[in-house]
Chain A
Amino acid sequence: MKSLTIRHRILVSFAVVLVVMSVIAVIAYAWFLQTQQEATEVEKGILPDVYHSTEIMMGQMTAHSLLQEYALQDSPSDRRALESMIATNRDRVQRQMDDYEATIFSDIDKQNYAVVKELANQFRLAETAVLDTSRTALSKGETPNEGPAIKNTVEPIFLKLQSALQAMVEDHRGEATSATQRISSIVKTAEVGLSVGLLIALGLALLLGYQLFRAITGPLTRLVDAVQLMRQGDFSERLELRRRDEFSVLADGFNAMADDLTTLIGQVQRSSIQVGTSITEIAATSKQQQATATEIAATTTEIRATAKEISATSNELARTMNDVSTVADQTAAVAGGGQAGLTRMEETMHQVMEAAGAINSKLAILSEKAGSINQVVTTITKVADQTNLLSLNASIEAEKAGQYGRGFAVVATEIRRLADQTAVSTYDIEQMVKDIQSAVAAGVMGMDKFSEQVRRGMQEIQQVGGQLFEIIQQVQGLVPRFEVANEGMQAQATGAGQISDTLTQLSEAAQQTVESLQQSTLAIDELNQVSSGLRSSIARFKLRA
């Protein structure tokens, strides 16, 4: 139900009521058709039957009374008149019977009619017999007496016929009554059906109308409430209808409008705050500028005084410069003396280096000699080894010789002892030579390092000499520059006077600036008031958090 649109709801409500009414109308139309059929049958079938059967009955009764009247007449003329009337009545009855025969449909009717027709024929035959008898009597001149004949033959037939006709009429009346009852029952059913249908239609119309009313008034009330709230400046509320119809579209539109307005008012609020802040800043800045302008005025006065001092100082400096120039000349002369001393020192250094080279070559010779001693020691070692081997073999041979070799064995052992001592001594010599060699190597390295240091010292002396030369040149070059500086100082003194004049003008301009800044402060105050008004008027809007 929530997803139906209002348009659909209205259409559906009307359609439902219309359908119920149409059904009622169709049923009522069927009932009326039935009633009409029944009425037609009464009109076309039953009423003519009643009419004709009544007519036939009347005709028969007329025929019976005419016959009785005929029997009562005495004059022949009257009898002839009555005879013609009987004939006329007979024709009429015959016509009525023919008409009636055309309207017979039911079996009961057919049986009834067959009985009536038979009896009517018998009555006519009996009547014709009575009339013929009387006419014969008349022609013979006798007074006819029809009474007994009528009473015996005609009367019983007539009574039978009368009862048969009566039954037929009764039958038709019964039919008419039942048809009328059917009509009235249909009419009653139609009355009840129409009342019920109308009640249902009315109930449906009320129910659907109420639904429609609720579907429209519920969201409408909420919309009106939301609009009322928004009129009071509260933009924090949003509509949540939880349905899919025109109202939800309306609510979405309302929400979007509220969002846009919220954004807009939020921006306006922020902007107004920013404007307020900016104005405050501008006011502060303007006051600062005012203070600065005042300070500038004061400062220019101070600068003017300082410029005058500068002028005086410049003159003093120019005098001092002349003194400095003299001192520079003396410095150049002293530096020249220093350079000559350095040149002598360099020569001495060269001699030291040559001596170091001589020491190095002596050390090399020493190292070479130590190597020769080493070779000799190696040779001695080999000889000692050979001696040892020799003595070993000698000992072995002496042992093998037994008693004869004993003296030899002692000699061999002694030789081996000497060889061992030689080996130990050569080992000591070897160690000493190695010590000498390492000492010589250390001496060579030390001399190399010493030579390197002397060389570096010489380079440094050369550098110092070069630097002293530069100092002399620069000091000599300083003198003309001092004169240039002197001229500059005088120009500076003149410039300081000009600065003083310019500063007087600047001071006046600063005063004018202060005045215009006071005017701008007044304008800023007005702007501040306008901004406060804007902020207070926008503050009554309440936004969503």
Chain B
Amino acid sequence: MLFLSFSMGTDRYLIDVHQIEEVLPRIGVKVLPGAPAGVVGLVSYDGIPVPLIDVTLLALGRPSEARLSTRIMITRYPSENGEQRLLGLIAERVTDTLERDPADFTPFGLEPGSPPYLGPVASDGPEIIQWVKVETLLSEEIRSALLRQAHMGG
């Protein structure tokens, strides 16, 4: 199974490539003033406005650094009524893929109290890598805000 890797701080995290539509360079971002915490703006993908979440801002409280390796991942996630929705994720060092067996990942034992998007972990040489589930990245606040936007758009 193929994973796309990115960084938050010095650690590496993985996202299942089946959830990823495309990786884009960090250009053409429209800023949304007064958006909920974590939401940084909108990006156009095939003519559709897609909301953008800065993963580094969400997890570490600081925006991602302005580098060429800082990129936008267009992902799909299932909404309440079953249809697929698009969400842009900004993350640092989105430069590599990784082939791993899902059975390699094990729970890390501190799930209660940790943010819900942190999934099971596996070791890659000396470092530990962690699986991030896209559908759990959205807090209730952001999810409802996005829903309102979808209704207005639809």
Tell me which of A44-52, A203-211, A389-397 binds B: A389-397
Chain A residues, CB < 8 A from B25: 385-386, 389
Task: Kindly supply a per-residue 1/0 record for chain B positions 1-43, scoring 1 wherever the CB is within 8 Å of any chain A CB and 0 otherwise.
Answer: 0101000000000000110101111000000000000000000
Task: Kindly supply a per-residue 1/0 record for chain A positions 382-414, scoring 1 wherever the CB is within 8 Å of any chain B CB and 0 otherwise.
Answer: 100110110011011001100000000100010
Pair A396/B96 contact, Cβ less than 8 Å:
no
Chain B residues, CB < 8 A from A396: 2, 4, 17, 20, 22-23, 97
B68: Cβ under 8 A from any A Cβ: yes
A413 to B95, CA, bound (A): 11
Residue in B closest to A398 when the chains form the complex, CB atoms: B2
For B2, B24, B94, B95, the residue with the greatest tally of chain A CB atoms inside 10 Å of its CB is B95
Residue in B closest to A391 when the chains form the complex, CB atoms: B97
A416: Cβ under 8 A from any B Cβ: yes
Pair A392/B2 contact, Cβ less than 8 Å:
no
A418 to B124, CA, bound (A): 23
A385-B2 contact, Cβ under 8 Å, with A392-B95, A392-B97, A416-B96: no
Pair B17/A389 contact, Cβ less than 8 Å:
no
A396 to B68, CA, bound (A): 19
Chain A residues, CB < 8 A from B18: 399-400
Q: How far is the CB of A26 from chain B (nearest CB, A)?
A: 133
Chain B residues, CB < 8 A from A416: 96
A508 to B24, CA, bound (A): 126
A157 to B96, CA, bound (A): 204
A393 to B71, CA, bound (A): 12
Pair B95/A393 contact, Cβ less than 8 Å:
no
A388-B95 contact, Cβ under 8 Å, with A382-B68, A396-B17: yes
Chain B residues, CB < 8 A from A385: 25, 68-69
Chain B residues, CB < 8 A from A382: 68
Q: How far is the CB of B40 from chain A (nearest CB, A)?
A: 20
Chain B residues, CB < 8 A from A395: 2, 17, 97
A385 to B25, CA, bound (A): 9
Chain A residues, CB < 8 A from B96: 392, 416
A416 to B98, CA, bound (A): 13
Residue in B closest to A409 when the chains form the complex, CB atoms: B2
Q: For chain A, which range describes its interface: under 10, 10 to 19, 20 to 34, or 35 or more residues? A: 10 to 19
Q: How far is the CB of A394 from chain B (nearest CB, A)?
A: 10
Pair A392/B68 contact, Cβ less than 8 Å:
no
Pair B17/A399 contact, Cβ less than 8 Å:
yes
Chain B residues, CB < 8 A from A400: 17-18
Chain A residues, CB < 8 A from B20: 396
Residue in A closest to B67 when the chains form the complex, CB atoms: A385
A385 to B4, CA, bound (A): 16
A416 to B22, CA, bound (A): 16
A393-B22 contact, Cβ under 8 Å, with A388-B95, A399-B17: yes
Of residues 366 through 385 on chain A, the ones whose CB sits less than 8 Å from some CB of chain B are 381-382, 385
A413 to B2, CA, bound (A): 12
A299 to B88, CA, bound (A): 119
A508 to B18, CA, bound (A): 138
Task: Kindly supply a per-residue 1/0 record for chain B positions 88-114, scoring 1 wherever the CB is within 8 Å of any chain A CB and 0 otherwise.
Answer: 000000111100000000000000000
Of residues 29 through 73 on chain B, the ones whose CB sits less than 8 Å from some CB of chain A are 68-69, 71
A392 to B22, CA, bound (A): 9
Q: How far is the CB of B125 from chain A (nearest CB, A)?
A: 18
Residue in A closest to B25 when the chains form the complex, CB atoms: A389
A399 to B69, CA, bound (A): 22
Chain A residues, CB < 8 A from B22: 393, 396
For A382, A389, A413, the residue with the greatest tally of chain B CB atoms inside 10 Å of its CB is A389
A461 to B25, CA, bound (A): 66
Pair A389/B23 contact, Cβ less than 8 Å:
yes
Residue in A closest to B94 when the chains form the complex, CB atoms: A392
Q: How far is the CB of B90 from chain A (nearest CB, A)?
A: 14
A455 to B146, CA, bound (A): 74
A395 to B71, CA, bound (A): 16
A338 to B69, CA, bound (A): 73
Pair A389/B71 contact, Cβ less than 8 Å:
yes
A409 to B96, CA, bound (A): 13
Chain A residues, CB < 8 A from B68: 381-382, 385
Residue in B closest to A420 when the chains form the complex, CB atoms: B95
Of residues 414 through 434 on chain A, the ones whose CB sits less than 8 Å from some CB of chain B are 416
A382 to B96, CA, bound (A): 17
A389 to B68, CA, bound (A): 10
A413 to B4, CA, bound (A): 13
Q: How far is the CB of A427 from chain B (nearest CB, A)?
A: 12
Q: How far is the CB of A417 from chain B (nearest CB, A)?
A: 10
Chain A residues, CB < 8 A from B69: 385
A400 to B4, CA, bound (A): 13
Chain A residues, CB < 8 A from B97: 392, 395-396, 399, 413
A393 to B94, CA, bound (A): 11
Residue in A closest to B1 when the chains form the complex, CB atoms: A399
For A381, A385, A399, A400, the residue with the greatest tally of chain B CB atoms inside 10 Å of its CB is A399
Name 21 interchain pairs, CB-CB below 8 A, sorted by A.
A382-B68, A385-B25, A386-B25, A389-B23, A389-B25, A392-B4, A392-B23, A392-B94, A392-B95, A396-B2, A396-B4, A396-B17, A396-B20, A396-B23, A399-B2, A399-B17, A399-B18, A399-B97, A400-B17, A400-B18, A409-B2
User: B residues bordering A, Cβ < 8 Å?
Assistant: 2, 4, 17-18, 20, 22-25, 68-69, 71, 94-97
Q: Give 14 new A-B contacts, CB below 8 A, not counting A396-B22, A399-B97, A409-B2.
A: A381-B68, A385-B25, A385-B69, A388-B95, A392-B94, A392-B95, A393-B22, A393-B23, A396-B2, A396-B4, A396-B20, A396-B23, A399-B17, A400-B18
Q: What 3 pairs across the A-B complex have the smallest Cβ distances? A: A399-B2, A385-B68, A396-B17
